[in-house]
Amino acid sequence: LLLLGIATTSLVGCKERVSMDLNKSSIIPIPNEIKADGFSFKITSATEIVVSDASLMNTAKVLQGLLQPATGFPFTIVEGNSASSDQIFLTLNSSLTKADGYQLKITEDHITVEGKDVGGVFYGTQTLRQLLPAAIEKNVIQTIDWRVATGTIKDAPRFEYRGAMLDVARHFFTVEEVKHFIDYLAMYKMNYFHIHLTDDQGWRLEIKSWPKLTEIGASTEVGGGEGGFYTQEQYTDIVKYAAARNITVVPEFDMPGHTNSALASYGELNPDNKPKDLYTGTNVGFSTFTVDKEITYKFIEDVVKEMVALSPGKYFHIGGDETHVTKKKDYINFINRAQEIIASHGKQVVGWADIAEAKLQPNTVAQFWKVKTHSAKLALKQGAKLLMSPAAKAYMDIQYDKDSPIGLHWAGYTEVDDAYNWDPATYLPNMDIDDIIGIEAPLWAETVKDLKDIQYLTFPRLPGYAEIGWSKRSQQDWETYKVRLADQQDRFEAMGLNYYQSPKVPWK
């Protein structure tokens, strides 16, 4: 016994014991429960990633890709059923209660990430990422001590849907740029990426049965630049990249308005059979499909069929917003028919809440965005659920203040504290938490031209939307959040982000 005791002591003794306090970590979104036990685990060149199940291989690879550049360590991935020294063990535990929930246990010897499902394991690894020094975000080798405080974190999301949208129609963004945006969502545990693929200024997805959509409709963008589009192969690459990060892509084909790029590509979609001119301005609400021509529905059927074939997710977004030149009766008939087409392809419809004027299919989700609450009321009355994106709080293209160099201000200004200080569950009167599926922060791109612009409007508001969607309401508090947000600054710097240095945040 004495010998054993000595052996144990010397074993601990050969590893340097360093105190660290898990309670002092600044994680966003704030986890449900943190229990610190005062010491630390050191990641070294010998640290391996162990997976208990083949379904966790993608998560392991993403973690490896995250940890390799700054550490220079290999993080070899192996299969196994338990953790031994120096390992990061990824495993499933169906007894955890909520989808996407996880438990992260860090001891001086090893780390265990248990997830309810693959998503839960992924989120456990993202918490681990935030527990490491900010230098982990750099892409060249840093020679520092890679230590993580020991303890246990138990965590699960408040809402099923935590998302952000990127408008690739007003300005086109490359596959690489889109992947960066997806990375930002993943880092903060968002699980839906809504991509606004079509609008008046551009058509951004290859449709093989209607090739002029990209030959003509994709050829420009706001301001007259050259535009662009994703081939179906590139789009699939985006979908897979997102899926490896537990993110589902929600494709949007906006109709019957916001359709000038399609109307410019094919004359037969117009009442006079003549193609419209391409449009590179920023007005909204001037275009409409010809709702009483059968070719319109043949077109929609063909496009939806190809889009659905590329989209493993359950949702399909039909837009439906700002149809100022579609007669109300026509609009209602059109939306009813569009919903039938989507349902016939086995997808669940999402639309901007304007669609609640029509008769909503069971399961349809109405995305609330307008300052006025009329459409949301109509949707709830029909038993639909809401996705909350109130423009005055959740639109990332809205300027922070009057001096913001990019962004719009039709919905006012949204400083970082305004973006954080609201609850999607009580934002509208007479609403229940069960009436909503979650929160989405859209980034419209009339003024957004490149990745630097995306970063400026996204950071630092996006982490706040993520916390609103993930953390318990009782744990959301601007005064403590702003300190945690300031702590993310080192990460923003390490990632090379062009972020807005809001005066509301106590940056270092």
Q: Does residue 331 touch ligand TNX according to CB under 6 A?
A: no
Which is nearer to ligand TNX, 57 or 284 (by Cβ)? 284
Q: Residue 217 corresponds to which tokens in the numbers above? A: 């409709």
Q: Which residues pair with 393 in a beta bridge?
A: none
Nearer to ligand TNX, 68 or 282 (CB): 282
Pull the structure tokens for residue 369: 């965005």
User: Does residue 284 touch ligand TNX according to CB under 6 A?
Assistant: yes
Question: Does 395 contact ligand TNX by CB under 6 A?
Answer: yes
CB of 198 to ligand TNX, least distance (A): 11
Task: Give whichever of 284 and 295 is closer to ligand TNX, judged by the CB atom.
Answer: 284
When the beta carbons of 322 and 357 are compared against ligand TNX, the nearer one is 322
Asked if residue 400 binds ligand TNX (CB under 6 A), the reply is no
If one asks whether residue 444 binds ligand TNX (CB under 6 A), the answer comes out as yes
Phi-psi domain of 140 (left: phi exceeds 0; alpha: psi -120 through 50; beta: other): beta
The distance of closest approach from Cβ of residue 197 to ligand TNX in the complex, given in angstroms and rounded to an integer, is 13
- Contact between 368 and ligand TNX per CB under 6 A: no
SS3 per-residue string spanning 301-323: HHHHHHHHHCCCCCEEEEECCCC
The distance of closest approach from Cβ of residue 411 to ligand TNX in the complex, given in angstroms and rounded to an integer, is 7
Least separation in angstroms between CB 397 and ligand TNX: 5
CA–CA separation, 362 and 409 (whole Å)? 35
Task: Kindly write out the interface string for residues 222-251 of this chain, putting x where it contacts ligand TNX by CB under 6 A and - elsewhere.
Answer: ------------------------------
* The CA-based dihedral angle spanning residues 192, 198, 204, 205, taken in that order and rounded to the nearest 10 degrees: 70
Q: How far is the CB of 322 from ligand TNX (least distance, A)?
A: 5
**Looking at this protein, which amino acid is placed at residue 269?**
L
SS3 letters for 235-259?
Answer: HHHHHHHHHCCCCEEEEEEEECCCC
16 catalytic? Reply is no
DSSP-derived secondary structure for 131-191: HS-GGGG-SS---S-EEEEEEEEEE--S-SEEEEEEETTTS---HHHHHHHHHHHHHTT--
Q: Rule CB under 6 A: choose which of 114, 397, 435, 467 binds ligand TNX.
A: 397
Q: Give the residue from 256, 325, 334, 331 showing the smallest Cα distance to 286.
A: 325
Residue 414: CB minimum distance to ligand TNX, A: 11
Of positions 114, 321, 418, 467, contacts ligand TNX by CB under 6 A: 321
Please state, in angstroms and rounded to a whole number, the distance separating the CA atoms of residues 390 and 400. 15
Report CA-CA distances (Å) from 93 to 48, 58, 296: 21, 18, 49
Asked if 137 interacts with ligand TNX (CB under 6 A), we say no
Residue 140: exposure state from Cβ atoms within 10 A (0-12, 13-18, ≥19): exposed
CA distance 507 to 493: 12
Give me the amino acid identity at 63. L
Closest CB to ligand TNX among residues 39, 444: 444
Query: Is 322 a binder of ligand TNX (CB under 6 A)?
Result: yes
327 is written with which tokens? Answer: 């007669």
Task: Report the residue number, 237 or 322, with the smaller CB distance to ligand TNX.
Answer: 322
Which of 322, 357, 415, 467 is catalytic? The answer is 322
- Min dist CB 442 to ligand TNX, Å, is 7
Tokens 């809205």 locate to 398
Please work out the total of residues on this chain that contact ligand TNX, with binding judged by CB under 6 A.
Answer: 10
Stretch 401-440: interaction string toward ligand TNX, x if CB under 6 A? -------x--------------------------------
Judged by beta carbon, residue 50 or residue 350, the one nearer ligand TNX is 350
Which 340-359 positions form the footprint of ligand TNX (CB under 6 A)?
A: 352
Q: Does 295 bind ligand TNX (CB under 6 A)?
A: no
Provide the annotated active-site residues.
322
Q: Which residues bind to ligand TNX, rule: CB under 6 A?
A: 284, 321-322, 352, 369, 395, 397, 408, 444, 446
